[in-house]
Amino acid sequence: MSLHLPNGRWVVWLSFLLAMLFQIMPLPEGVAVWRPDWLLLVMTYWAMALPHRYNILTAWILGLLLDILLGATLGIRSLGMSIVIYGVVLHFQRLRNFPIWQQSLFVAAEVAVYQLIVFWLQFVVDGAKFELSILFPAVSSLFLWVWVFWILRRMRRKYKVR
């Protein structure tokens, strides 16, 4: 009976909160373009680890909160994050079996798709201009995925998050 009780939800939501803080933290201009998409990285991990609990609805809510925090048009990041996390949830069993370097490549592609979706929606709504620098977070996420995965996995095992 106790196998069905959710344990450690506070750990997951604390990781989402920290990721959101890292996402909006001010950085110097030269470094800010390389900022990884922390919230998407953390959401990807939890969608791979516990897809029955943290999935498309969670991604939509977090994206909406991020839009509010950034003062952006509501729904842009929630739609992008929902679409990308749908792919993660759809293939979570396959992704779990990938070696970490293949997961990193997948995450980099996922962040690039997310950035392109957000750009396209901003282009439709606000007429944004394309710059190659919108894809820089995919490169930094490629290298940081190993650390994000390792830290969140240790947290999940230490606090027995189910």
- Which tens digits make up the pLDDT trace of 24-46? 999 998 899 999 999 999 999 99
CA angle 37, 39, 45 (to 5 degrees): 105
Which pLDDT belongs to residue 5? 58
Which pLDDT belongs to residue 1? 43
At 37, list the tokens: 């998409």
Q: What is the mean pLDDT of residues 59-86?
A: 96
Which pLDDT belongs to residue 3? 55
In this prediction, residue 162 has a pLDDT band, given cuts at 50, 70 and 90, of confident
Cα 132 from Cα 134, distance rounded (Å)? 5
pLDDT tens track for 97-155: 999 999 999 999 999 999 999 999 999 999 889 999 999 999 999 999 999 999 999 99
At 147, list the tokens: 């650390």
Which pLDDT belongs to residue 7? 78
| 74 phi, psi to nearest 5 deg | -65, 135
In this prediction, residue 4 has a pLDDT band, given cuts at 50, 70 and 90, of low
Of 13-17, 70-74, 101-105, the poorest mean pLDDT is in 70-74
